[in-house]
C-alpha cells in the first residue's frame, strides 16, 4: 500500500497499526504542517529512498499547532527516523526538540527533526544550506560575494533568509518589510555577528526600493506576493536590470510576476523550487548518513509539479 494520496492526522498516531499498518514500505518519515496536503516532499523523497533500497517511505502528517509537541514522542516511539516541519511548526519545533544545531538556533527555526535511538530529538535547519546551494547551482554565485536585498524580512522565512545571508558574510544586506519596524528589529538583531555585513532596513516604498535596487546584486523575495492575480509589485519592475539576480521563494505559479519581470529585463531569476529540492537533499543526508540521489529526487519533484500545477 502506497501513501501518495493519504493524509495522516494526530488521531492516526494513536491507532497507527490500524491506520498505517498496511503501508509497504512502512512510514518512517513525514512532513508535518497545517495545512500539508499540498506538500511535494513525499514525491521528492520517496524516489530517493527507493533508489537506496531503504525499507521506508515518507508521508504527510497534518498536525494542528496544539497537537505538534505531544505528537513528537509518539513518532519517535513508532520508529520514525525523522520529519520535516513546515508552516506553522518551524518555530515551535525550535523549543520542542531536545537539542538544536547552533545554526538553527541562530536562524530561529527548525525544519528538520532527527529521531535518535535513545528517544531524543535533534533539530536542524536545512532551509539555510538549501537556499545557499540553490543560489550556487542556479546562478553560479556565492551569497558571500553579493549585495543582498531581502523583501518580507520582518519575520518567518524573510528573517531566516536575512540571517543566513548575514552569517555568510554577504557584502551588504538591505531588509524591507511592509511593517518597517519589523525589518528594523531584524536588522538590529544581526549587527552582533562578528564578520557580518553592513545591515540596514529600508522603507517599502517605490522610491526607496528603486534606490535600494541600485546597490543590490541579489533580490530575495520572502513575501507571498505574486501568488494571486492583482498582487502589487514587490519591487518596481521598471528598476530591474540585467545585472540583477532574483530568487523568489514563491513557486505557485511556477513563474511568479517578479521572476517574469526580471527575465524580461535580461536578469537571471528563479522560483522557489530549487530551494525546495536542495533543502530536501540536506535533510535526506542528515537522516541516512549517505549521499542523496539528487537525480531521482529531482525527477520525482519535477513529475509532481507537472501533475499538480497548471
Cell 526607496 maps to which residue?
Answer: 208
**Residue 51 falls in the annotated catalytic set:** no
Q: Kindly list the strands in the beta sheet with 218-221, ordered across the sheet, starting from the edge strand earlier in the chain.
A: 198-201, 172-176, 147-151, 218-221, 245-248, 268-270
Contact between residue 34 and residue 46 where contact means Cβ atoms under 8 Å apart? no
Phi-psi region of 157 (alpha: psi -120 to 50; beta: other; left: phi over 0): alpha
Catalytic residue among 51, 90, 182, 252: 90
C-alpha 234/C-alpha 242 separation (Å) is: 17
C-alpha 232/C-alpha 209 separation (Å) is: 13
Give, in order, the Cα–Cα distances in Å from 262 to each of 46, 133, 244: 34, 21, 8
229: exposed, middle or buried (Cβ count in 10 Å: 0-12, 13-18, 19+): exposed
Cα 44 from chain centroid? 14
Catalytic residue positions, numbered? 90
Amino acid at each position: 500500500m502506497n501513501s501518495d494520496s493519504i493524509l495522516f492526522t494526530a488521531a492516526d498516531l494513536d491507532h497507527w497499526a490500524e491506520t498505517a499498518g498496511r503501508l509497504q514500505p512502512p512510514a518512517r518519515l513525514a512532513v508535518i504542517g497545517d495545512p500539508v496536503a499540498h506538500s511535494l516532499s513525499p514525491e521528492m523523497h520517496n524516489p530517493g529512498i527507493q533508489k537506496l533500497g531503504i525499507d521506508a517511505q515518507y508521508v504527510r502528517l497534518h498536525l494542528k499547532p496544539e497537537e505538534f509537541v505531544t505528537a513528537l514522542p509518539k513518532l519517535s516511539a513508532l520508529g520514525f527516523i525523522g520529519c520535516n516541519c513546515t508552516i506553522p511548526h518551524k518555530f515551535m519545533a525550535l523549543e520542542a526538540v531536545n537539542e538544536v544545531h547552533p545554526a538553527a538556533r541562530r536562524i530561529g527555526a527548525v525544519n528538520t527533526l532527527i529521531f535518535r535511538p535513545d528517544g531524543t530529538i535533534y533539530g536542524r535547519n536545512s532551509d539555510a544550506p538549501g537556499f545557499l546551494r540553490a543560489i550556487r547551482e542556479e546562478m553560479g554565485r556565492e551569497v558571500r560575494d553579493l549585495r543582498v536585498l531581502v523583501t518580507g524580512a520582518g519575520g518567518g522565512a524573510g528573517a531566516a533568509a536575512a540571517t543566513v545571508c548575514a552569517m555568510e558574510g554577504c557584502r551588504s544586506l538591505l531588509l524591507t518589510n511592509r511593517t518597517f519596524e519589523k525589518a528594523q528589529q531584524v536588522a538590529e538583531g544581526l549587527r552582533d555577528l562578528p564578520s557580518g555585513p553592513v545591515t540596514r532596513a529600508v522603507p517599502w516604498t517605490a522610491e526607496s526600493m528603486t534606490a535600494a535596487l541600485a546597490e543590490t546584486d541579489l533580490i530575495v523575495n520572502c513575501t507571498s506576493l505574486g501568488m494571486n492575480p492583482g498582487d502589487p509589485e514587490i519591487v518596481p519592475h521598471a528598476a530591474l536590470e540585467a545585472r540583477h539576480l532574483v530568487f523568489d521563494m514563491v513557486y505557485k505559479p511556477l513563474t511568479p510576476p517578479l521572476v517574469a519581470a526580471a527575465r524580461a529585463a535580461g536578469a537571471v531569476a528563479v522560483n522557489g523550487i530549487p530551494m525546495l529540492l536542495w533543502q530536501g537533499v540536506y535533510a535526506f543526508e542528515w537522516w541516512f548518513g549517505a549521499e542523496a540521489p539528487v537525480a531521482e529526487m529531482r525527477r520525482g519533484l519535477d513529475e509532481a509539479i507537472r501533475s499538480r500545477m497548471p
